[in-house]
Structure 1
Amino acid sequence: MPDSVLVAYGTTNGSTAQIAEAIAEVLSKEGLTAEALPAQAVESVASYDAVVVGGGLYAGRWHKDARRFVRRHRHELAERPLWLFSSGPLDPSASERDIPPVPGVKKAMDRLDAKEHVTFGGCLEEGAKGWVARMILRNGKGGDFRDFTAIEEWAARISAELGAAAPGRS
């Protein structure tokens, strides 16, 4: 019975971590054992029944920690239910329409038979690390475009799907 879920994430400035924590919180409220961890800190996924992996998008690529996590754990991930998410657009587009995964994430989805991918809006605020982030902010393109209602609804769907995969779960 799937009941232990890892939510691993790659983030630079913490906004993807907050999305991962929100997902883990919903899964926990739904009766699953869930924890959100930085992707680079995870040594094994063997003790988890299901995995959610998320990464911030930077210049059309998933965060390096998310990419490395998926590559490093690909054999174990292929054996469990897997969901992927991206965070990135610094505009309301992710709330207005479905944004397909970037090519590298699409390739990982296909290779690992991931159940679903979703793109959530990103967040870039004053104090962000990196010269590109500072340039974006200087050009007035920052802000918080995360939709936590949509994030929580997606997490609830994951929980329902895991519950459906486990007969007898109440």
Structure 2
Amino acid sequence: MARPKPATFDKVKTVAENRRARFDYFIEQTFEAGIALTGTEVKSLRSGEGSIAESYAEVKGAEVWLVNANIPEFSHGNRFNHEPKRPRKLLLHEREINKLTGAVERQGMTLVPLSVYFNGKGRAKVELALAKGKQAHDKRETIKERDWKRDAQRIMRERG
């Protein structure tokens, strides 16, 4: 019998984060996915380079692909260096892929990468979210709520 997965992921070193995703989408559920990389991509990520700001994930057949993620070429790479914006395969269990496929096709949800990080074992992972897009009024509400929390913290700090 399989062990239950931990609620939070063991993030040792976060390389790239998509902070805009939490503002633009309602995050329903998160998944931890492995990512298939070449050697120079791993070296480039370990040096702290990489961006997932405009990237997304899509399901093609029985596979999930990370599209438009930018991992710049490794500075000491030779002619075997990688292409910076190539689609990269995400490694998930079959039942997770089926769940994502159903949500994307039936419910109109989106697969958004939230962060790229190295776990405790040194493996590159992607935190993938199943999300629903926010509309303009939802975003305004989020801004109001964030401002109110900031003001409340300031007031509490002043009163001691």
TM-score (norm: length of structure 1): 0.28
| Structure with greater proportional strand content | 2
Relative contact order higher in (CA < 8 Å, ≥ 6 apart): 2
TM-score by length of 2: 0.29
> Which of structures 1 and 2 has the bigger CA Rg?
2
